[in-house]
Structure 1
């Protein structure tokens, strides 16, 4: 099976994570404390450098108090 990596999707997810995080006035450091995900991993996710896991999306959703589907709404990205 060929590994598929959709770079545009990964980039957009990272931008959306950052957009949601900033709309809640939460720093990467604070989100790291809330989620037990390292600040460096959050930064790399937001920059589209890594393909985060679905488990991390669930944790972000719970700690940022937004529905999971919000992370995949790319309609308002710059």
Structure 2
């Protein structure tokens, strides 16, 4: 029997870029954090922490945000 250890990797720069992009797209759609929270059923405080790059959100949340913002998930990952 062998044990496999997985190193936890966290890319702070990527997390901050994603948060900034989420905020840009949300604001371009004229939505407040509170409205996105209602639409997505994700707490407003979690959205705020995500936008500030304080938490490493899940890929499931990325999908939910994209659907609620009516954009392709790839748009939330476009940091150019």
Tell me the TM-score normalised to structure 2 length. 0.92
Q: How many angstroms does 1:62 deviate by?
A: 0.5
Give SS of 2:42's match: coil
Cα RMSD after superposing both structures: 0.4
Give SS of 1:37's match: coil
Aligned partners of 1:16, 1:61: CA distance in 2, in Å?
Answer: 11
Aligned partner of 2:49 among 30, 39, 44: 44
Unaligned 5+ runs, structure 2 = 1-5
Unaligned 5+ runs, structure 1 = none
Flag the structure with larger Rg: 2
After TM superposition, the runs of 4+ consecutive aligned structure 1 residues lying more than 6 A away are none
Q: Describe how 1:1-78 pairs up with structure 2 within 5 A.
A: 1-75=6-80
